[in-house]
Amino acid sequence: MGNGKSIDPAALEMLEVAEKEGISTAFSRVDRLKPCPIGRHGNCCSICFMGPCRMTGKDPNETGVCGATPSTIAARNLARSIAAGAAAHSDHGRDMALVLRAVAKGEAKGYKIKDVKKLHAVAGYLGIRVDGRTKEEIALDVAEKAISQWGQQEGELAYLSRAPKKRQELWRKLGIAPRGIDREIVETLHRTHEGNDQDPEHILTQALRTSLTDGWGGAMLATDIGDIMFGTPSPLTSKVNLGVLKDDEVNILVHGHEPLLSEMIVAAAQDPEMIEYAKSKGANGINLAGICCTANEVLMRHGVPPAGNFLHQELAIITGAVEAMVVDVQCVMQALAELSKKFHTKLITTSAKAKITGAMHIQFNHHDALPIAKLIVRTAIDNYPNRDRSRVHIPDFQENLVAGYSHEYINYMQGGAYRGSFRPLNDAIMQGRIRGAAGVVGCNNARATQDEGITTVIRELIKNDVLVLVTGCGATAAAKYGYLAPEMMENAGKGLKEICEAVGIAPVIHVGSCVDNSRILTIASQMATEGGLGEDISDLPVVGICPEWMCEKALAIGTYVVASGIYTLFGVDSPVIGAPEVEKLIMDGWEAQVGGKLEFEPDPMKIVEKTLAHIDKKRAALKLEEYDPNRYGQSGDKQMAGVSS
């Protein structure tokens, strides 16, 4: 089970190398830095320069200099985090929309409109006419309408119409239907500035509205526009973990989030001219792999293998086999710059939004994307002769995986191109073959044993017939231990196993990067409208889980999942544990408002217990048959006849 740092043997092996060489990593720095418990628990207010005011809990009447109560302080801190997370995802979506517009105008060489079917579907959501128009004309209108979602001042986001009717009505009734993406994020920053909104419940209601700009706004647009330009994913196989690095090829790692550059790097790395150039430098080829959500983007569409999740980024460099780590935005540790200097690795920043002192910067822009990608690939190749063979240490661990489950493909696999629907899935849940579903998503956190929470939750849920959907670094974690391989169906409960056998899937389905949690919203919405499982997302026997959360984006995601009506459990620890009133508001308060609650539960086994209890509660409310683990799996074929009809 490792040393408490990670359960991943590849990570443990690299940590030994790091220790021998005296190299610090997040795994070692976390021991040196004791977090301030006041700030960690939501009790530190630093929004004005009379403070920071630290609420210690010793005086029941304590307040900040201005009189702010601990509850107001914690609510403001949480709301600000949610706004920052929504900003990050949505800004990613904005850049995608701007590039789509450039593609439609013929101003973004190298990009194209790859998936016309998806373009038409998105045009439909946005109320844009498609008949008799070229794909460029449609794409231009889609892009303009998408871009307008950020600056819109009044009305509501167009994609809210993709939620079940009841949910839309509830959002309107509560006044949390977002007016525009930027507007809600800015308003949250305004409201939480010193001396403004000071009623915790009121602040947290705006936090719900802000989070919806992410899930049903920026992130959903990021996913859709990515599919239009780069193709809607469908299942493919690949490998995962540090063992995917090659000791005789130029290793390039793409790390960060946006697919705009990484898609071009995939193309550049496959260019015969580039491969020849690599050979001229003594390498046998070019090996592209990914870290974090960029990895998921290029995995889902090209099968590029992920070398690891968030806590693997430093370990990858310590293998001594990485010629270039190419980063754009988000989840990029500053430590990479110093670390890469200890090896031959070139850390290349590419975004105007994220420079790191000491890194090489090659500015990306969508007008010259392919030439820039080629320059980056050439820079990596030029660096290959500098690799110090005596320091190369690639741990021999890799697993097989299947990824690429878009919402569209999941629809298709349940009946084909003409009869595709969510009927079979809903039926399987209604019959109790599948007890319910859970999204297990999110980061690694250096304060938790890497991958332990994620894999414990997944292992126990599939054993209990819960179908699991994964995204982000949670998906990479699942993949590293074989959960995304079809053979894993052997470890699923009997009913779930029957379904996996019939459809030919693993019990854990990779639906993409973190912005692709929007695919899970679409799936939930379709399940709720398909019939038999209630009328709203909050009726479904489903749960959202983020066992090893780390960043503000995760909080934004968790909150929009709650605002969409889903019970959501986060691991590690609560960022508002020092303010019991706020804890109560995001649990009972939000549940009363939107039907979902946000709960922090550090123990993965308790997360499992609470998930199963919730699923059973929802099943009972729907008057479905009580779940019985032994009802299915006896006479396979006969039982399956009922499912596939």
Shortest distance in whole angstroms from residue 632 CB to ligand NFS: 34
Contact 292, 310 (CB under 8 A): yes
Shortest distance in whole angstroms from residue 78 CB to ligand NFS: 17
Q: Which two tokens stand for residue 345?
A: 């690795």
Shortest distance in whole angstroms from residue 551 CB to ligand NFS: 5
Nearer to ligand NFS, 405 or 422 (CB): 405
- In the complex, the residues that contact ligand NFS under the rule CB under 6 A are 257, 292-293, 309-310, 331, 442-443, 472-473, 514, 550-551, 553-554
Nearer to ligand NFS, 309 or 593 (CB): 309
Shortest distance in whole angstroms from residue 255 CB to ligand NFS: 9
Q: Which two tokens stand for residue 599?
A: 């709960």
Shortest distance in whole angstroms from residue 603 CB to ligand NFS: 21
Q: Which of 400, 257, 240, 243 is closest to 321 using CA atoms? A: 243
Nearer to ligand NFS, 86 or 585 (CB): 86
Nearer to ligand NFS, 102 or 253 (CB): 253
In which residue are the tokens 């819960």 written?
Answer: 466
- Helices (H), ranges, 105-134: 116-125
Pairing of strands 250-255, 286-291: parallel
Within 10 angstroms of residue 617's Cβ, the number of other Cβ atoms is 12
Beta bridge partners of 324: 252, 346
Shortest distance in whole angstroms from residue 309 CB to ligand NFS: 6
Shortest distance in whole angstroms from residue 222 CB to ligand NFS: 11
Shortest distance in whole angstroms from residue 553 CB to ligand NFS: 5
Nearer to ligand NFS, 473 or 499 (CB): 473
Within 10 angstroms of residue 157's Cβ, the number of other Cβ atoms is 24
> Residue 87 belongs to what H/E stretch?
helix 70-104
Nearer to ligand NFS, 145 or 553 (CB): 553
Nearer to ligand NFS, 283 or 550 (CB): 550
Beta bridge partners of 299: none
Nearer to ligand NFS, 26 or 208 (CB): 26
Shortest distance in whole angstroms from residue 454 CB to ligand NFS: 10
Output the furthest CA–CA distance in the chain (Å, rounded).
73
Shortest distance in whole angstroms from residue 518 CB to ligand NFS: 12
Q: What is the rounded distance in angstroms from the CA atom of residue 62 to the CA atom of residue 64?
A: 7
Nearer to ligand NFS, 72 or 574 (CB): 574
Beta bridge partners of 440: 470, 545
Nearer to ligand NFS, 45 or 470 (CB): 470
Contacts 24+ apart (CB under 8 A), 354-358: 354/256, 354/327, 354/328, 354/329, 354/330, 356/327, 356/332
Q: What is the rounded distance in angstroms from the CA atom of residue 505 to the CA atom of residue 503?
A: 6
Nearer to ligand NFS, 101 or 257 (CB): 257
Buried b / exposed e across 346-370, counting CB within 10 Å, b at 16+? Answer: bbbbbbeeeebeebbebebebebbb
Q: What is the rounded distance in angstroms from the CA atom of residue 463 to the CA atom of residue 17?
A: 36
What is the secondary structure of 535-553 as a DSSP string?
SSGGGSSEEEEETT--SHH
Q: What is the rounded distance in angstroms from the CA atom of residue 625 to the CA atom of residue 2?
A: 41
Neighbouring residues of 626: CB distance < 8 A, sequence distance ≥ 6: 432, 616, 619, 620
Shortest distance in whole angstroms from residue 330 CB to ligand NFS: 6
